[in-house]
Amino acid sequence: MKPSKPFYVTTPIYYVNDRPHIGHAYSTIAADVLARYHRLRGVPTRFLTGLDEHGLKIERRAKEMGKEPQAFVDSMAAPFREAWDVLECTPDDFIRTTEPRHEALVQQLWTRLEQAGDIYLGDYEDWYCVGCESFKTEKELLEGNLCPVHKKPVEKVKEQSYFFRLSAYTERLLEFYESHPTFVRPAGRFNEVKSFVREGLRDLSISRTSFRWGVPVPGNDEHVMYVWLDALTNYISALGGPAAEAPLYKQFWGEDATQVHIVGKDILRFHAVYWPAFLLSAGIAPPTQVWAHGWLTVDGEKMSKSLGNFLPPAPLAEAFGTDALRYYLMRGVAFGQDGDFSHEALVARYNGELGNGLGNLLNRVLSIVKKNLGGVVPDSPRIGGVVEIATEDGPIYEQLDRTLEQKAQEAARESARWLEEVNPGRALDAIWKLVAEANGYIDRTEPWSLAKRGETGRLGVVMYSVLETLRWLSVMIWPFMPERAEALRTQLGLKALEDREKDVDVWPAHFGELPAGTQTALGTPLFPRIDDDEKARIFASLGLGRDKESDRMSEQQEGPGAPSASGATQNSEPAIAADATPPEPFAPDMSFDDFMKVDLRVGLILSAEKVKKSKKLLCLQIDLGEKGPRQILAGISAHYQPEALVGRRVVVVANLPPRKMMGLESQGMVLAARDEVGLGVLSPLHDAQPGTRVS
Ligand code: ME8
């Protein structure tokens, strides 16, 4: 269902003690994707990001840098703004907690908590981690009084402090969670939050006297406010709240709006426990949802300056293209789960899903349209919603066309649903299913043969269907890859989405709206291939030598889980003829007749998917020119993304007895060559008909 409420999405406001890195980019890009999606739906949308500039951590960092805190935080704002620009993130507002507009409203919120009777003065004595800017109980600490997050010693704090009566909110929070079952996502994390609260909450110290870098407590400026109370308030202060009459606050924090806080799992407790408690105390409704995504490691390791794997986003965007980076982050790391940023995986997805998948689709289609139809979009097969069937060249609106249209509808529906559920990776899965479908459609309809046979009517229908599918794709990929989506549209001869009417829902819904007569313009490839030389150049420019990761990957491939030459018979997993350790001695001679007993055929891969619970196997449906496709299992999952294989021709051993693997039947074997660098599935140079004998 189309979203209709005003949509407010936020990122955490980042500490300015360091420059932005790929982890910050992950949250910000996710929020940007959601904002862009809602804008395409014509829904009033507001996207907020910003900076957390107060607190002991920042005060100390400024000192280390030999600067006054304000001068230091001022100098750190630009790198964040620039990073979001480079990454095509489009916040509507960028809030800094040192801005007067924010400080005034934090003080208003404090006053509300005080008026509610929830603030009292007391003495605090406990542990504090400056890295987390958070109090720690003895129970939470690791041996040697180390913070469990930062693994650094915590500090003993003993001072007068104001407290917030958090303990009084245990029941109210549990009731709130009960009545708002999707308040925290993913559900597993919500359970963790609930168990934490069920154990009972302690009052929270919300002021400090031992340093000055914070918002003064109203009426007692000996104290500055606890940095998390200050920081969390940014989500409403940026709207002009809690002053109820502020127009943005009314529009985006009202009951009629949806508010989504995107945060990393590290700061969920602050957002899912403290923040709603403060708001309930102030008589303000908590937000609709807090979405806690997982943690990114880099090439298998925690990001840190000392490990030399602290990744600023800009050089990556420059090396691979901003859109490819955005795509990779959103697709390569499942939202909600921890995941690894891997340069190798980025290149593999770039070449496979972007280059071979989408880029190749556009290129194939526009080349055929240029060569055979003068580059012009042919007439739509649908006239006034009725399927037109011209008969001169045979049926011109066939089952295949109908299926493609249905698949497009399905992709638009599914991707929208996943975006509304804040799951950008699943949305991309749905979109790429359509990319594979469209590539398979071209293989099956063979427009080049239609052109050769002069079947121009049918050719027109086929080209129209796939051009229209590309138009749909250009909209669906726009939230993720706005620049490449516009480049795709330029080649299709369409108006830029950036120039659309902003309050109109442009999410694709009606197949057949691409105007006939539109002049297309075949341009440069959307995603030029990164070959080995280019990859080496990029890796060198990023300071990755003969990288650790390749070593790690090849270790994994050679390890016990790897497909091997004999794997097909020994592990009963990979149905693939591959050679693990070349050079292998040649086999003894055999007779020609013996060779001819092996029935090798050209097969066309119609679909490919991972086999559940198997690290190695892909389940392929392969057209061998028989009545129906054959199901063949191949141990190539570590080497190919399933989507990249769809539409490819391969060589199949067609007369092996069927075998069962992981509960599935395999009806043949796909040929591949394997050396120490990698594994390549064999493919004929010419697009021979499926079923053609190979000899
Ligand atoms: O916590 N993987 O700021 P912060 C994934 N100022 N996400 C990551 C990440 C990683 N490796 N590293 C950082 C703060 N992030 C507070 C927030 S909000 C009112 C105050 C992302 O600079 C992730 O969103 O430490 C995480 O929650 C956030 O950056 C922490 O940023």
Complete DSSP assignment for 162-198: EEE-GGGGHHHHHHHHHH-TTSEESHHHHHHHHHHHH
Q: Is 370 buried (19+), middle (13-18) or exposed (0-12) by CB count in 10 A?
A: middle
Q: 472 or 568: which carries more pLDDT confidence?
A: 472
Atom 29, ligand 1: which residue's CA is nearest?
24
Question: What mean pLDDT is predicted for residues 647-674?
Answer: 91
Closest CA relative to residue 495, chosen from 516, 474, 476: 474
Question: What mean pLDDT is predicted for residues 335-350?
Answer: 91
8-state DSSP, 222: E
User: What amino acid is encoded at 649 in this protein?
Assistant: R
Residues with CB under 6 A from ligand 1: 12-15, 23-24, 26-27, 52, 231-232, 234, 263-264, 266-267, 295-296, 303
Q: Over 80: is that where the pLDDT of 238 sits? A: yes
CA angle, corner 623, sides to 673 and 359, nearest 5?
70
Q: Over 70: is that where the pLDDT of 226 sits? A: yes
Among the four given CATH numbers 2.40.420.20, 3.30.300.30, 1.10.1660.10, 1.10.730.10, the one describing domain 343-499: 1.10.730.10
Please tell me the distance between residue 226's alpha carbon and the centre of ligand 1 in angstroms: 18
pLDDT of amino acid 9: 98
Q: Over 50: is that where the pLDDT of 578 sits? A: no
Residues that are catalytic: 21, 24, 129, 132, 147, 150, 302, 305
Question: What mean pLDDT is predicted for residues 104-111?
Answer: 97
List the chain domain ranges.
Answer: 7-293, 343-499, 558-681
Q: 91 or 641: which carries more pLDDT confidence?
A: 91
Q: Which atom of ligand 1 is nearest to the CA of 15?
A: 22
Q: 604 or 188: which carries more pLDDT confidence?
A: 188
The count of residues in the chain is 695
Q: Over 70: is that where the pLDDT of 422 sits? A: yes
Mean pLDDT of the chain: 88
Among 133-137, 310-314, 490-494, 640-644, the range scoring the smallest mean pLDDT is: 640-644
Residue located via tokens 């001072």: 159
Please tell me the distance between residue 352's alpha carbon and the centre of ligand 1 in angstroms: 31
Domain 7-293: give its CATH code. Answer: 3.40.50.620
Please tell me the distance between residue 192's alpha carbon and the centre of ligand 1 in angstroms: 19
Among 208-212, 421-425, 483-487, the range scoring the smallest mean pLDDT is: 208-212
pLDDT of amino acid 206: 96
Q: Is 659 buried (19+), middle (13-18) or exposed (0-12) by CB count in 10 A?
A: middle
Atom 16, ligand 1: which residue's CA is nearest?
14
Q: Name the pLDDT band for 227 (thresholds 50, 70, 90).
A: very high
Hey, how many other C-beta atoms are within 10 angstroms of the C-beta on 153?
15
Q: Which fold has domain 558-681?
A: OB fold (Dihydrolipoamide Acetyltransferase, E2P) (2.40.50)
pLDDT of amino acid 130: 87
Whether 252 contacts 236, CB under 8 Å: no
Same fold, 7-293 and 558-681: no
pLDDT digits (tens, 9 = 90+) for 54-86: 999 899 999 988 999 999 999 999 999 999 999
Q: 479 or 210: which carries more pLDDT confidence?
A: 479
Q: 567 or 524: which carries more pLDDT confidence?
A: 524
SS3 128: strand
CA angle, corner 642, sides to 636 and 643, nearest 5?
150
Hey, how many other C-beta atoms are within 10 angstroms of the C-beta on 437?
24
Please tell me the distance between residue 12's alpha carbon and the centre of ligand 1 in angstroms: 6
User: What amino acid is encoded at 567 in this protein?
Assistant: G
Query: Model-level pTM?
Result: 0.79
pLDDT of amino acid 306: 57
Whether 681 contacts 636, CB under 8 Å: yes
* Candidate from 26, 73, 297 with most ligand 1 atoms within 8 A of CB, to mutate: 26
Residue located via tokens 């890295």: 131
pLDDT digits (tens, 9 = 90+) for 117-152: 999 999 988 888 888 888 888 888 888 888 888 788
- Cα distance between residue 459 and residue 447, in whole Å: 6
What's the token pair of residue 416? Answer: 């929208």
